[in-house]
Amino acid sequence: MLTTAEMLQMYRTMALITATSDRASAEVKSGSLQSAFYPVRGLEGVCGALSIAVTTEDQLVSTYRSLGDALAKGSNLRGVIAEIYGRSDGVCGGKGGPMHLHDTSVGFMTSTGIVGSGIPIAVGLGIAAQLDGAQRAVVTTFGDGATSIGAFHEGMNMAGLWKLPVVFLCQNNQWGEHTPIAEYAANTDLAGRAQAYGMRTVRVDGFDPVATAEVLRDALARARNGEGPTFVEAVTYRLTGHSGSADYSYMPADELAAALERDPVPSFRRRLLESGAASESDLAAIDAEVVAQVDDAFAFAQASAPPEQDLRYRDVFADTAALAGTGVAL
């Protein structure tokens, strides 16, 4: 059972993700942010749950829709926004940009621009953790569309066979770019499909952050204890277009309206108030802090300098005497 402090922490993270995503989309539409950006509206419950389920030792591999995952793993908001702007104060010095965020200081190993391509990376990290005998788990997030590519099936099979400490977190928002799941998948029961790989599977309501957090905690504990991988299908709905500036008039109005009724942050806010876990003044204070934090981060990013020109030559070849931890001399 989650404590009151954990639920408030989760609310803070979710509110921060919503405010940041909305602000970034607005900046894209205004032209002040000239960058690809993929909103995370609808995923806040899953990301909030992830924020209290992972430890600092756990590792995370994400997708290009990575803003919520990065904040859930503990990346600094200023650094994340500066990276989206491609500025020198970004978490990758402006070199990664929005599609290739990484912040290894908090175990956010990478995000990738190709659908599903983070899965084999996470499996590799899982093999490393298993060989090291480390008490850490690896989480990889991906959308429902990723379950139809080859790398998904190869990674799932290997993880199931070798009992790797990996949690496959499918953020099922029910859209593959502009195509609804029922029009590209013969079997939309993704958790059922994952069972074929001999691993534990769980389907959870991704709009319910408490239920999702409990499922993820259990899955991560099993991974750390050597009990193998878990596939978690968190069912949500994408509340915006595919990208920050995209039209989404093609989405059925009744479906979208029903999903908006369960918009994660306002729904969780009502739940906290009705249960007595928080007062209106408690949540208003958090909301005000979030607004100030987002304003600060965007101002910081916009004032940050572009990367130095010679950055293009860094990180291409190792320039140390040996690869750390491998004993391999260069």
Q: What is the pLDDT of residue 215?
A: 98
| Confidence at residue 275, expressed as pLDDT on a 0 to 100 scale | 96
- In SS3 terms, 186-255 reads as CCCCHHHHHHHHCCEEEEEECCCHHHHHHHHHHHHHHHHCCCCCEEEEEECCCCCCCCCCCCCCCCCHHH
CA–CA dist 164, 230 (Å, integer): 9
Q: What is the pLDDT of residues 280-300, one digit of tens each?
A: 999 999 999 999 999 999 999
| DSSP-derived 3-state class of residue 157 | helix
User: How large is the angle between the packed helices 264-275 and 44-53, nearest 10 degrees?
Assistant: 60
DSSP characters over 10-62 = HHHHHHHHHHHHHHHHHHHHHTSS-S-----TT-HHHHHHHHHH--SSSEEEE
Using CA atoms of 175, 180, 182, 183 in order, give the dihedral in degrees to the nearest 10: -130
pLDDT at residue 98, rounded to an integer: 87
The per-residue pLDDT for 35 is 87
Residue 247: pLDDT band (50, 70, 90) is confident
Question: 51 to each of 47, 98, 184, how far by Cα in Å?
Answer: 6, 20, 31
Band of the pLDDT at 4, cuts 50, 70, 90? very high
* pLDDT attached to residue 245: 76
Mean pLDDT of 18-46: 94
Average pLDDT of 300-312? 91
Q: Return mean pLDDT, the chain.
A: 93
What CA–CA distance (Å, rounded) separates 228 from 221? 10
The pLDDT, as a whole number, for residue 252 is 94
Taking the CA atoms of the chain, what radius of gyration do you get in angstroms? 19
Range with the poorest average pLDDT among 146-150, 241-245, 303-307: 241-245
Cα–Cα distance, 239 to 226 (Å, whole number): 37
The pLDDT value given to residue 326: 57
Average pLDDT over residues 295-324: 83
Q: How many Cα atoms occupy the beta-carbon half-sphere of 330 within 13 Å?
A: 9
> Per-residue pLDDT tens for 21-30?
999 999 999 9
**Region 135-155 average pLDDT:** 95
DSSP-based three-state secondary structure for 7 = helix
Count the residues in the chain.
330
pLDDT for residue 324: 58
- Between CA 317 and CA 30 the distance in angstroms is 38
Grouping H, G, I as helix, E, B as strand and the rest as coil, residue 65 is coil
Nearest to 168 by CA among 133, 211, 127, 116: 116
Amino acid at 190: L
Tell me how far CA of residue 111 lies from CA of 26, 192, 297, in angstroms.
23, 26, 21
